[in-house]
Amino acid sequence: MSELRLNIATREWVIIASERARRPNAFTETRHQPRTAERPLHDPHCPFCVGNEELDLEVERYPATGPWQLRIVRNKYPALHDQGPVMRRFDGLRRTLSGYGYHEVLVEHPHHNTTLGLMTNAEVKAVLEMYLRRGRAMSADPRVEQVVIFKNHGERAGASLQHPHSQLIAVPVVPADVRHRIEEARRFFDDTGQCVFCAMLADELASNERLVYANDDFVAFVLYAASSPFHIWILPRRHRASFFHIDETELDGLADVVREVFYRLYYRLNDPDFNLVLRSTPAKEPENGYFHWYLAVVPRLSYMAGFEMGSGIFINPSIPEACAAFLRE
């Protein structure tokens, strides 16, 4: 029988449609295009491939000399611009803020035909180190309130280019979605004296039903109230509110779990489209006991329709426990 499950961290309800749930292997992608590894190593028309670099857009590269492993470039068509002050205008009910911010692209690898699950741990770690370095630099700008780091892989996830890349956008406001999550976490902390994410992590480790992979520093699990098939959170075992305040020695463990999760998704689900999103506190908020940064991994295996738009309640046509077991195999 179908049931409604509550994500205790976000207070969002999800319908687990068990009566029409599909087996996990039914979500294995039937591809109309080659998998990532089957594409050419180099695409002469790709702006991110070696030899096609638009150097006027480059912010940073690693290593600084010789052949590059990864590059940070300004987005050619940025959503925001990093020039000028933040100007606010109020006109009755209309509020306007000047479009200040940063919009950068992290080119993750010189090869056109790879992705996080196919890279080495060292290559994934280099990507995470650049997240950390550029995110800290953006956060230091007093005009920045929130740094959003995300990766779109595949057309259904919103990617317009195939070359492996992530994006970093810094905005002069705290988005409502971020504020909502923080307020819910604070409410749970006020009621119980606990971090809700730490509580969820302890529960997942105790039950072991939805774990996908874990090491000494990080744990990956399919959410109990997953809003879509194979919706995974990667949480640090050590409580930190901000990703940008972590100990850099933890990056080895994070690289290991990120590569392992995406390796399993790539081979078990046949290279699905996905979104990766970093959830962290606003730039100016100090460390606290109630919020806990994490990575959200959302394979694009189902669609949002009218009911989801009208209610805010997602229908998940899979069983989270079965999805986790499928990835553990």
Q: From CA 44, how far away is CA 153, in angstroms rounded?
A: 20
Q: Which residues pair with 233 in a beta bridge?
A: 221, 296
46 is in an annotated binding site: yes
Residue type present at position 294: Y
Give me the DSSP letters along 220-238: EEE-TT-SSTT-EEEEESS
Average pLDDT over residues 222-244: 97
Q: Which residue has the higher pLDDT, 103 or 31?
A: 103
- Does position 217 have pLDDT exceeding 80, yes or no? yes
112 is in an annotated binding site: yes
The more confidently predicted of residues 261 and 98 is 261
Asked if 229 and 302 count as a contact pair (C-beta separation under 8 A), the reply is yes
CATH of domain 3-328: 3.30.428.10
Asked if the model's pLDDT at residue 22 lies above 90, the reply is no
Q: What percent of the chain has pLDDT over 70?
A: 99
Average pLDDT in the chain: 95
Least confident of 12-21, 134-143, 257-266: 12-21
HEC assignment per residue over 122-138: HHHHHHHHHHHHHHHHH
**Residues 6 or more apart in contact with residue 162 via CB below 8 angstroms:** 36, 39, 43, 46, 112
Q: Which of 38, 71, 271 is nearest to 159 (CA)?
A: 271
Output phi, psi for 143, to 5 deg.
-85, -10
Strands annotated E in 185-305:
211-214, 218-222, 232-236, 274-279, 294-299
Give the mean pLDDT of 307-327: 94
Residues in the chain, total = 329
Nearest CA to 125 out of 258, 234, 241 is that of: 258
Please write the tens of the pLDDT for every residue from 3-12.
999 999 999 9
Is a pLDDT exceeding 90 seen at residue 113? yes
For residues 21 and 321, is the Cβ–Cβ distance under 8 A? no
Tokens of 197: 């994410």
Cβ contacts of residue 278 below 8 Å, gap of 6+?
131, 148, 149, 150, 243, 293, 295
Give the active site residues.
Answer: 165
Q: Is 163 annotated as a binding residue?
A: yes
Span 42-83, pLDDT tens digits: 999 999 999 999 999 999 999 999 999 999 999 999 999 998
